[in-house]
């Protein structure tokens, strides 16, 4: 049993539950002050792709702190940002010629939506609607919430949300209904500005996967109707689904791409929205009367950019995709074993991510299971945070087979012991 959790003192986060206090972290492990430790099996909300405090990333941060801490990114620039923009252009799809910096996944999405709406407005043919997929999650700012699923996150703000049209999630066997719904939404006048999707895997909505052929078809429908295609790869990017971008698996290149989380290897907050040249062109003019009006104080912070450059160096100089493929195999083996348990339903894996649903007890319900499981895992030295009754494992790429065994044996224990009072 681990150190007893403490209460947040003055921060306004979470549901008011006691929480562990972490002092340091390394690789896949979080360490508390008294020597207790937790295995971070969800990469601290899907960000620490290469593990905590990766030596190359930490060294780059330390070096940058000696040179330049912060700089207004309007009318001025610095080497880490220029290097990062060039580095991203070198490894991302070549039609995504422009890099716009911000500082979180939500703002990367907010920027993408503003770019899409601004694009049509600037062309003199305003469009206001965005097509979104059921069960999606894109962040917590107003625009990002608008394109997410309706629920606890956004219902209080319903009257303020953007105009969206929802298409169904392409569940296995029902993909055509999704494609037809998108086609119908695109035919309606005035046409929608854009479709935004999480490619191949809806994360916070329940780790719901769909096929590359469907993603390709959705992109093709958008292209046919000249509706912009926005890929939110905030979660799926940086190798999570087995390739650098999930879109690659469908041979799809979006008009606008959102990246964050693993962009700095998870060390510092930074995001980019990459856009095709035509989106850039509709926002700027050579006489300098037009621009894309969006900036914030910490845009392209030099230290965060240095961390991202170190992440890019890891990607280009080390066999990251091989590591990812090996992790995928380890996950598949353990998922196959745990799937034999009668409480495991719909086991699924894509790349480094494994997930399954917990079957409800007969005549019972599972509403309370998520927090209960989270507490159970925390007390057994694991950071694992199920989405309702969906358990998923998304560890950093440095995790070992033995460490994964710890994760799955705790899951097995939970499946055996947690259900008596849930009937
Ligand atoms: N888009 C997706 C697909 C996400 O998974 C998330 C975060 N879970 C976001 C956007 C929002 O990112 P952030 O929490 O950094 O604002």
Strands 98-102 vs 271-275: parallel, antiparallel or unpaired = antiparallel
**How many residues belong to the chain?**
423
Question: How distant, in Å, are the alpha carbons of 77, 167, 191 from that of 139?
Answer: 28, 19, 25
Half-sphere exposure of 329 (CA within 13 A, CB side): 5
Torsion angle of the four alpha carbons 203, 58, 79, 81, in this order, in degrees rounded to the nearest 10: 10
pLDDT at residue 372, rounded to an integer: 87
- Atom nearest to 144 CA in ligand 1: 10
| Lookup: tokens for 253 | 């290149």
Residue 380's pLDDT is: 94
All residue ranges of the chain with pLDDT < 50 are: 1, 423
Do 5 and 18 form a contact (C-beta atoms < 8 A)?
yes
Fold designation for 57-317: 3.40.640
Backbone angles phi, psi at 320, to 5 degrees: -65, -40
Assess contact for 389 and 357: CB atoms under 8 A.
yes
Which one, of 262, 267, 205, lies nearest residue 237 by Cα? 262
Q: Tokens 């950019």 map to which residue?
A: 305
pLDDT at residue 421 in the model: 53
Q: Looking at ligand 1, which atom is closest to the CA of residue 136?
A: 3
The CATH architecture annotation of domain 22-40+320-422 reads Alpha-Beta Complex (3.90)
CB 136 within 8 A of CB 202: yes
Q: What is the pLDDT of residue 290?
A: 84
How many angstroms does the Cα of residue 105 sit away from the middle of ligand 1?
Answer: 5
Q: Three-state DSSP class for 391? A: strand
**Residue 269 backbone class (left: φ over 0; alpha: ψ -120 to 50; beta: rest):** beta
Q: What are the phi and psi torsion angles at 382 (to 5°)?
A: -130, 135
Q: How many CB atoms lie within 10 A of CB 162?
A: 17
Give the closest residue (by CA) to ligand 1 atom 2: 138
Residues 6+ apart with CB under 8 A from 111: 100, 102, 258, 273, 294
- Rounded to a whole number, what is the distance in angstroms from the first to the last CA of the chain? 26
Instruction: For CATH 3.90.1150.10, list the domain ranges present in the chain.
Output: 22-40+320-422
Q: Pinpoint the residues of the chain covered by CATH 3.40.640.10.
A: 57-317
Q: Considering only CA atoms, which residue is closest to atom 13 of ligand 1?
A: 105
Q: Determine the Cα–Cα distance for residues 62 and 76; give it in Å rounded to an integer.
A: 23
Q: Name which residue sits closest to atom 5 of ligand 1, judged by CA.
A: 235
pLDDT digits (tens, 9 = 90+) for 202-241: 999 999 999 999 999 999 999 999 999 999 999 999 999 9
Angle, CA of 205, 223 and 98, to the nearest 5°? 80
pLDDT at res. 423: 43
Rounded to whole angstroms, how far apart are CA atoms 183 and 225?
Answer: 8
For residue 269, which atom of ligand 1 is closest to its CA? 15
C-alpha span between 71 and 298 (Å, rounded): 8
Q: Which of 108, 260, 271, 350 to mutate to test the pocket of ligand 1 (most atoms within 8 A of CB)?
A: 260
385 assigned binding-site residue: yes
Residue 283: the pLDDT is 94
């Amino acid at each position: 049993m681990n150190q007893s959790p403490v209460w947040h003192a003055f921060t306004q986060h979470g549901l008011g539950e006691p929480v562990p206090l972490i002092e340091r972290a390394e690789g896949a492990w979080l360490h508390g002050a008294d020597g207790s430790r937790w295995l971070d099996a969800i990469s601290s909300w899907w960000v620490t792709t290469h593990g905590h405090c990766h030596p190359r990333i930490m060294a780059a941060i330390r070096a940058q702190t000696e040179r330049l801490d912060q700089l207004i990114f309007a009318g001025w620039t610095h080497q880490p940002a220029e290097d990062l923009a060039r580095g991203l252009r070198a490894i991302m799809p070549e039609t995504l010629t422009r890099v716009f910096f911000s500082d979180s996944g939500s703002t990367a999405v907010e920027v993408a939506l503003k770019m899409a709406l601004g694009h049509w407005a600037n062309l003199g043919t305003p469009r206001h609607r965005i097509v979104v997929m059921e069960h999606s999650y894109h962040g917590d700012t107003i625009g990002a919430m608008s394109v997410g699923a309706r629920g606890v996150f956004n219902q209080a703000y319903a009257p303020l949300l953007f105009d969206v049209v929802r298409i169904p999630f392409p569940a296995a066997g029902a993909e055509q209904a999704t494609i037809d719904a998108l086609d119908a939404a695109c035919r309606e006048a005035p046409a929608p500005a854009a479709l935004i999707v999480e490619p191949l895997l809806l994360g916070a909505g329940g780790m719901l996967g769909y096929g590359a052929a469907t993603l390709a078809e959705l992109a093709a429908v958008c292209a046919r109707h000249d509706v912009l295609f926005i890929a939110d790869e905030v979660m799926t990017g940086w190798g999570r689904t087995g390739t650098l971008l999930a879109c690659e698996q469908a041979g799809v290149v979006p008009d606008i791409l959102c990246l964050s989380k693993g962009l700095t290897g998870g060390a510092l907050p930074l995001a980019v929205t990459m856009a095709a040249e035509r989106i850039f062109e509709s926002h700027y003019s050579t006489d300098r009367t037009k621009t894309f009006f969006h900036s914030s104080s910490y845009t392209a912070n030099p230290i965060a950019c240095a961390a991202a450059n170190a992440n890019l160096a890891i990607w280009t100089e080390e066999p990251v995709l091989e590591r990812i493929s090996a992790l995928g195999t380890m996950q598949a083996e353990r998922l196959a074993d745990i799937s034999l348990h009668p409480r495991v339903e719909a086991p699924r894996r894509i790349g480094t991510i494994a997930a399954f649903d917990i079957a409800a007890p007969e005549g019972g319900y599972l509403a309370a299971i998520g927090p209960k499981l989270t507490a159970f895992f925390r007390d057994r030295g694991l950071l694992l945070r199920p989405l309702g009754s969906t358990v998923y494992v998304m560890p950093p790429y440095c995790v070992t087979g033995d460490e994964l065994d710890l994760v799955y044996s705790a899951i097995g224990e939970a499946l055996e012991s947690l259900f008596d009072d849930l009937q």
